[in-house]
Amino acid sequence: MKIAVVGTGYVGLVTGTCFAETGNRVTCVDIDVTKIEKLKSGVITIYEPGLDVLFDRNIKEGRLLFTTNLAEGIKDAEVIFLALPTPPGEDGSADLKYILKVADDLGPLLADYAVIVDKSTVPVGTAEKVHARIAKNAKVEFDVVSNPEFLREGVAVEDFMKPDRVVIGTNSEKARKVMNKLYAPLVRQGNPVIFMDERSAEMTKYAANAFLATKITFMNEIANLCEKVGANVDDIRRGIGTDSRIGKRFLFAGIGYGGSCFPKDVQALHKTSEEYAYDFKILEAVMGVNENQKTKLLPKIKQYFNHDLSGKTIAVWGLAFKPYTDDIREAPALENIKELVAAGANVRAYDPEAMENVKRILGDQIVYTNSPYEALEGADALFIVTEWPEFRSPEFERISSLLKNKVIFDGRNVFELDQMRELGYTYYSIGRDVVA
Ligand code: UDX
C-alpha cells in the first residue's frame, strides 16, 4: 500500500519505518528541513534499539522516503497517519494546534479517498474535530480514524511489529477494510485488531496509560508503607504479581514514573474529566504521589550527611527516565540533580545514552563521566536513578575502593538486601529495610 506519515518524531519515525518493513511504500513528511535532510541522507534522528537496521534497509530498497512537501508526501496515499506533537498547554490539556493545522492543509490536497489516521495521543473528540477541519476544504470522500499507539520506548520496534492489540476507532466500513489490510501482517499471531468508535479509541489510550501509571503508583505507595511497617516491597510484588488478575508487570516500585507519555496523559485525562465536571479522584492522587516519589531518597541522602551536602560529591548512575532510551523528559534524575546541586553538592553523572540531552539542560552544573566508575572518583555516595542493565552486576570492589563512604542510595531496587549486607554497604532503597 502507499502510505504517508506526517510528523517524523518518535512515533512517526517508528510507524513509517515499520510499515515500510512490511512492504508498504511510505513517505514521511515534516516541516523541519534539517531533520528531513538528515533522514534523506540516511541518518536516523532518534535512538531506538533495532530501528536503525530497518531504517537503513528500507531506505536502500526505496520504500522509505522523506519530504518537507505535504502535497508531494500524501500524493496517492491510501492512508495518511498524523503523528504530530500534542504538548500539554498551560492548563494541562493537550494542545492540538499542530494536528489541526495539518488537517486544514490536507483538505484541498486530497485527490482521492484516503483514511486519515490520528496516531498521536489526543483528547476525546479530536477525530471529529480533524474531520470537520478537513471537510471544510475537501472535494473527495475521506474518513478520519483514531489508531492510538501503545509503543514503549526502547522496545518500540517489537511493540510495533508484534502488538498485543491494535485499537482502531471508526464507524466506517470502508476505513475498517483499509486498516485491516494495513495491519494484517502484524497480527498474524492472532492478536486482535479491536474496532470501536473514535471516541472510545481515543479514551482507550488514556485509560491504558492512566491505569499503568496508577498500577506503578499503587506499588510506590505500598513501598512507602512497607518502609514504615518493616516489610519488603519486592516480596509483596512477587506475592501479588503471581495472581493472574493482577499480573507481574508494572509492579516495580521506585522513584516514580517519567517519560513523555504517562505524566502528560494522566494530566490530560484529568483535565478532560474536569471539563466534563467529573471529579476523577484517583488521577489526582496518582499525580501527587508520583511527584513526591521522584525525590523520595533525597531526605535520606541529606540525613545521612547530617543535613549538610555542601562540598559533598554524589555519583549519579542513570539519567534517562528508564533504560534503553536517551529520553530525559520528566526524568526523576533531573529533579534530584537540581536539588542536590541547590543543596551545595557536586554531582558526577554517568548514563550510557542520555548525557548529551542532559548537557543541553544542565550544562556544566554537573560533571559528565565516561564510565560509571569514573563517576565514583572522589564521590561520597552513589545514587542509582535508572536501572540500566550494566549497573546490575558492577565490580563492587572497584566501587568501594573509589567511594569515600560505602553508601548506596538506590532508586530502582537494583540490588538484593542480602548482597548489600554481605558486601558491607550502607544501602537505602525503595520499600525495603535500610541495610546499615
Ligand atoms: C508508555 C506506555 O507503556 C506505552 O504503551 C505508551 O505508548 C507510551 O507510554 P514509555 O513511556 O516508553 O511507554 O515507558 P514505560 O516502559 O511504560 O515506562 C514508563 C515509566 O514507568 C518509566 O519511568 C518507568 O521507569 C516506570 N515504571 C515502569 C516503573 O516505575 N515501574 C514499573 O513497574 C514499570
Q: Is 428 in the pocket of ligand 1 (CB under 6 A)?
A: no
Average pLDDT, the chain: 97
pTM (two decimals)? 0.94
Helices (H), 41-164: 51-60, 70-74, 97-109, 126-135, 156-161
152 alpha carbon to ligand 1 midpoint, in Å?
7
Q: Is 209 in the pocket of ligand 1 (CB under 6 A)?
A: yes
The architecture of the domain spanning 205-293 is: Orthogonal Bundle (1.10)
CATH topology of domain 2-195: Rossmann fold (3.40.50)
pLDDT tens digits, one per residue of 318-371: 999 999 999 999 999 999 999 999 999 999 999 999 999 999 999 999 999 999
pLDDT tens digits, one per residue of 43-53: 999 989 999 99
With b for 16 or more beta-carbon neighbours within 10 A and e for fewer, the 9-21 pattern comes to: bbbbbbbbbbbbb
pLDDT exceeds 90 at position 91: no
- Cell readout for 269 is 485525562
Residue nearest to atom 27 of ligand 1 (CA): 257
Q: Is 321 in the pocket of ligand 1 (CB under 6 A)?
A: yes
Residue nearest to atom 24 of ligand 1 (CA): 257
Which among 322, 326, 430 is the best mutation to test ligand 1's pocket, defined by most ligand atoms within 8 Å of the CB? 322
Whether residue 290 contacts residue 332, with contact meaning beta carbons closer than 8 Å, is answered with no
Give Cα separations from 146 to 63, 69, 73 (angstroms). 25, 24, 21
111 alpha carbon to ligand 1 midpoint, in Å?
40
Whether residue 413 contacts residue 431, with contact meaning beta carbons closer than 8 Å, is answered with yes
pLDDT exceeds 80 at position 92: no
Give the model's confidence band at 86: pLDDT under 50 very low, under 70 low, under 90 confident, else very high: confident
> Within a 10 A sphere around the Cβ of 353, how many other Cβ atoms?
19
**Could you give the residue range(s) of every CATH 3.40.50.720 domain in the chain?**
2-195, 295-428
Q: What is the pLDDT of residue 40?
A: 96
Q: What is the pLDDT of residue 260?
A: 87
**Could you give the residue range(s) of every CATH 1.10.1040.10 domain in the chain?**
205-293
The pLDDT of 1-20, averaged and rounded, is: 97
The pLDDT of 9-36, averaged and rounded, is: 97
Query: Is 18 noted as a catalytic residue in this protein?
Result: no
Q: Residue 355: what residue type?
A: M
Q: What is the pLDDT of residue 237?
A: 98
- Location of C-alpha cell 536501572: 387
Q: Is 254 in the pocket of ligand 1 (CB under 6 A)?
A: yes
410 alpha carbon to ligand 1 midpoint, in Å?
19
> Which element (helix H / strand E) includes 117?
strand 114-118
Give the model's confidence band at 28: pLDDT under 50 very low, under 70 low, under 90 confident, else very high: very high
| Rounded (to 5) percent helix, strand, coil in the chain | 45, 15, 40
Q: What is the pLDDT of residue 303?
A: 98
CATH topology of domain 295-428: Rossmann fold (3.40.50)
